[in-house]
Amino acid sequence: MPSHLHWIVDVNPQLGLISAVMRDLKKFAAWDVLEALEKDQRLKLLRMFQIEASLLPDQNRKFWTKRFDDQVIRNRDMLVAKLDYIHHNPVKAGLVEKAEDYKYSSARNYTFGDHSVLHVETEW
């Protein structure tokens, strides 16, 4: 989605908690995006991130919101329901007519076996 992401992730608590995974994902993704904006001289967008950061101590730019929402998937039915919600989110938002038409949706992986954009573990 242009403004947010949905992600089903299997976390091994011995390797790290979801909060650590999200911290690192947000950190490195922000660096990459902001670096690309600098390279492309997208000054208006960069200024927007600087303005957001000016409200916070010790930050030059702010890309992500502080929080994230998580839910523990407890069974197969819940997994299927969450996956269906995620796949149909771009359709509901009016971005595409079919879930598998959205380039960054795992619906492409499940429908076409297309792992060219995202690698998704579809066997469960």
12 φ, ψ (degrees, to nearest 5): -95, 110
- pTM of the complete model: 0.74
Between 68 and 74, whose confidence is greater? Answer: 74
CA 92, 98, 102, 108: dihedral to nearest 10 degrees?
Answer: 130
The pLDDT tens digits of the residues spanning 79-117 come to 999 999 999 999 999 999 999 999 999 999 999 999 999
Q: Alpha-carbon distance 2 to 95, whole Å?
A: 10
Tell me how far CA of residue 39 lies from CA of 34, 46, 53, in angstroms.
Answer: 9, 11, 20
The pLDDT tens digits of the residues spanning 55-67 come to 667 766 667 777 7
* DSSP one-letter code for 102: S
- Would you state the pLDDT for residue 114? 92
The pLDDT tens digits of the residues spanning 2-24 come to 778 898 988 888 888 888 888 88
- Would you state the pLDDT for residue 61? 67
- Would you state the pLDDT for residue 60? 66
Query: Which residue is associated with the tokens 């499940």?
Result: 110
